[in-house]
A and B are shown apart, each in its own frame.
Chain A
């Protein structure tokens, strides 16, 4: 194609069409020589013409309303003001938030993050907030909510998660409360003493392991089961407190105690692992999560 004064001189059907350009990576936008009320740039070139100022949406690249600011993003502060972003969560209806992560922000790209939260129980309306730390103090909470619905029993130490979904049972479960009993002479009934505020759950969980890929292959690969069993036992013995949660909505912050008991069916290759646990705190109490090493933040 020959370019001359912006027109195509080859004698074809597009001879008088404007010459296409290929200018990409536009990184700078400058406005001047007028009073500006709004400016919007969007990736959606099919947008209808309308004088209405559009709301920020997923296609918006830059938008400035010039309402005493020249911010082109969707938040009303600058990079120099923000030092970090906190991710918080809570169950809808509760007031206290739990800080699950704080991400330092020093460049524009630091804001482009995706993270995973593993400590929510199933069948609960969860609220998550992104909280900018502006000039050292918390800015406004930007909140969204999601209903959690999980299929399986999950045990995680925050870094590694195992999903248990075959033959999972809880047994020997008890709600422990310490009391003492005195048998006084001459009294028909004992005296119960309850000075301690001890109040926790304990139990035994057992599950079959069918291999990492059983969900997709539906085939029990005995070598894979062996590997998964070894990994799972190593995970249970790593001394880190864990979150144990199930599809019924139960959730416990636990430590694994005692021996871990694997039993392997040499014919089918299925491995069954049993372990005991005792509750160490609540999954929705910041200080309990901190003391368990499941978060690095105390507030």
Chain B
């Protein structure tokens, strides 16, 4: 028996600043008790590193810093039996050393909260020696780490750094997910962003269903009803003045908001408004409802000038229809913050005023 020629195994590109293990196989012949690795620059076959170790394993670790990034090398193994008989040199295998590619998300919110049911994930790929990207894929996992969707393999052969993106659609509200982008370079160095946690939180109406679904058992289908309602408001001025992002200031002369498309009110109705600092006076309308025949319903606030309630405030309703119609609310002492209610039942109106805290 003699030692047999080992076979050096493929070596994918790696970062020379880190330890890396080289492998070979050997079949038949005397038992291998020692191996020697020889690494040469591929351009001129100058030996840059050799090392012999006594080891039964078919591998050898090349220490960090031994080689340089951006250089094309080749290596081969020589094996030895217990009598120090050397084998033939293995086949030479070329390989690259490259710095680890860097890939990272660029647009994940710092809170990791996504306020939308779809999100365009952006990453940048970079590599110091400008090693090209071969393929990449975005992978979406559920909160348990189970893959639920992926982009499939995507390709980009531009010179790094490059930006990559992919949109996942259909995130559920109030759910946790994990997102990862991984891939490999043209020299097969793998890279990954790692799995990043994301939480999806966006507004959904809780009580009212914008989409109604009905299972039609006998017909074998599902009926879908859209309850989406669009009512665009118009304002003067066009850019209204908001207060604390939750109120609108319509106290300036000529300012208003009007909704006159996308709905109609018929028969009985209930109207409620929450207001502050209203203007007072007959003819100073706080609200105007208008019908098709230019008939109107107006509400305004007046201050009593005589009688038991002098100085107090009430709301005045005026309906200008085929016949005119007046109604008055209860009295209140202050008007800084009010809620008014207007009900119409069988064409009779009830109006109520309430001071709110």
Question: Are the C-beta atoms of A152 and B263 separated by less than 8 Å?
Answer: no
Taking the closest CB of chain B, its distance from the CB of A177, in whole angstroms, is 24
Question: Are the C-beta atoms of A31 and B256 separated by less than 8 Å?
Answer: yes
Q: Which residues of A contact B203 (CB under 8 A)?
A: 76, 140
Which segment of A14-22, A166-174, A200-208, A254-262 sits at the interface?
A: A14-22
Question: Are the C-beta atoms of B268 and A45 separated by less than 8 Å?
Answer: yes
Q: Give the CA-CA distance A185 to B297 in the complex, in Å.
A: 99
Q: Give the CA-CA distance A145 to B224 in the complex, in Å.
A: 11
Question: Are the C-beta atoms of B204 and A143 separated by less than 8 Å?
Answer: yes
Q: Does B292 contact A (CB under 8 A)?
A: yes
Q: Does A160 contact B (CB under 8 A)?
A: no
- Extra 5 A-B pairs, beta carbons < 8 Å, given A38-B273, A62-B231: A34-B251, A40-B271, A43-B267, A66-B248, A152-B218
Q: Does A23 contact B (CB under 8 A)?
A: yes
Q: Which residues of A contact B172 (CB under 8 A)?
A: 143
In the complex formed, the residue of A with least CB distance to B254 is A32
Q: Does A112 contact B (CB under 8 A)?
A: yes
Question: Are the C-beta atoms of B226 and A113 separated by less than 8 Å?
Answer: yes
Question: Are the C-beta atoms of A130 and B319 separated by less than 8 Å?
Answer: no
8 residue pairs A–B, Cβ–Cβ below 8 Å: A28-B288, A34-B250, A45-B268, A74-B208, A74-B229, A90-B170, A115-B223, A161-B220
Question: Are the C-beta atoms of B267 and A24 separated by less than 8 Å?
Answer: yes
Q: Give the CA-CA distance A202 to B209 in the complex, in Å.
A: 40
Q: Which residues of B contact A151 (CB under 8 A)?
A: 217-218
Q: Give the CA-CA distance A40 to B270 in the complex, in Å.
A: 8
Interface size bracket, A side: 35 or more
Taking the closest CB of chain A, its distance from the CB of B134, in whole angstroms, is 24
Q: Which residues of B contact A108 (CB under 8 A)?
A: 230-231, 261-262
Taking the closest CB of chain B, its distance from the CB of A84, in whole angstroms, is 12
Bits for B263-303, please: 1 = Cβ < 8 Å to A, else 0: 11111111111111111000011111111100101001000
Instruction: Pick from B220, B277, B327, B344 the residue with the most CB of A within 10 Å.
Output: B220
Q: Does A41 contact B (CB under 8 A)?
A: yes
Q: Does A148 contact B (CB under 8 A)?
A: yes
Question: Are the C-beta atoms of A126 and B117 separated by less than 8 Å?
Answer: no
Given contacts A97-B170, A130-B228, contact A145 B248 (CB under 8 A): no
Q: Which residues of B contact A24 (CB under 8 A)?
A: 265-267, 291-292
Question: Are the C-beta atoms of A37 and B246 separated by less than 8 Å?
Answer: yes
